[in-house]
Amino acid sequence: MAPGGGKDSAKAAHLAIWHERLCSDDPRLVPVDRERWARVRVLVVEDDDAIGEPLVAGLKREGFDVARVRTAAAALVAPAADLVLLDLGLPDGHGFEVCRQLRARSSVPIIIVTARDDEIDRVAGLELGADDYVVKPFGFRELVARIRAVSRRTATPAAASGPQRIGELEIDRRSHRVYLAGEEVALTPKEFDLLAVLAVDPGAMVTRRDILAEVWDPHWYGTSKTVDVHIASLRKKLGNPDWIETSRGVGFRLAIHQ
């Protein structure tokens, strides 16, 4: 056997399994609103075709609008995206420099996707402005959950823009307060975060999986019933269950009351 042949064979086997998972649906997963996520443009910066091609195919299956480039130079001149998946080991430069330059000129969300799992690399990437750091080999579903969580977080109206108003409902993210018809509504931190996630795009469906990833944790292994408990409490505090609509088996949406 040639030197390194065993490692190459193991890598090939791993990539084959990963590719199969990317190209198949798991019936246990909650359906997502793919039409909604088609508005999110993802730029994949990855030079390895064995990883880049199935990754792009999988993201497109999830409903994202995806473009891919293979070099640092191409990443810096690519059309504007809503989120960047950035590999560090690029043929013409270091991904950290790409991250630094992208962050210097825009606030586009950046998720570093790399085989480098040293704590120093993680800290350096986050200090340069990356919004998240995912180590290869990664679970594709976890990556998608992180993309959606980061997209929601960065799409949230900035505190500087003032409170968000939806009919008689007012959400002040800066002070972490909610008002209804001028009266403050006392919410727990989780209830506030849940309402804020639903309010990012009023009227749009938010799946249970996305809620758990954003309000709780992408690694949440508890029961999804915790979402129902918090939704019920939130409806009660808002004084009208019609504020939050349920799509059975899918998720919830914040109704728009004028």
Domain boundaries, the chain: 31-155, 159-254
Q: What is the pLDDT of residue 28?
A: 43
Question: Token pair for residue 153?
Answer: 């977080």
Q: What is the pLDDT of residue 138?
A: 79
Residue type for position 194: L
Alpha helices for 91-224 (secondary structure H) = 95-105, 119-127, 140-155, 189-199, 208-211
Note the Cα 226 to chain centre separation in Å. 20
Q: Consecutive sets of 10 residues in the chain, 258 residues long: mean pLDDT of each?
A: 52 54 47 57 94 92 92 95 94 93 89 89 89 85 83 58 84 88 91 89 84 71 76 93 88 81
Q: What is the pLDDT of residue 233?
A: 93
Q: What is the pLDDT of residue 12?
A: 56
Q: What is the pLDDT of residue 16?
A: 55
Separation of alpha carbons 40 and 146, rounded Å: 13
Q: CATH fold of 31-155, please?
A: Rossmann fold (3.40.50)
Q: What is the pLDDT of residue 25?
A: 47
Strand 110-114 to 83-86 pairing: parallel
As its CATH architecture, domain 159-254 has Orthogonal Bundle (1.10)
Q: What is the pLDDT of residue 136?
A: 84
Q: Write b or e for each residue in 153-179: b if 16 or more Cβ atoms lie within 10 A of its Cβ, otherwise e.
A: ebebeeeeeebbebeebbbbbeeeebe
Q: What is the pLDDT of residue 13?
A: 54
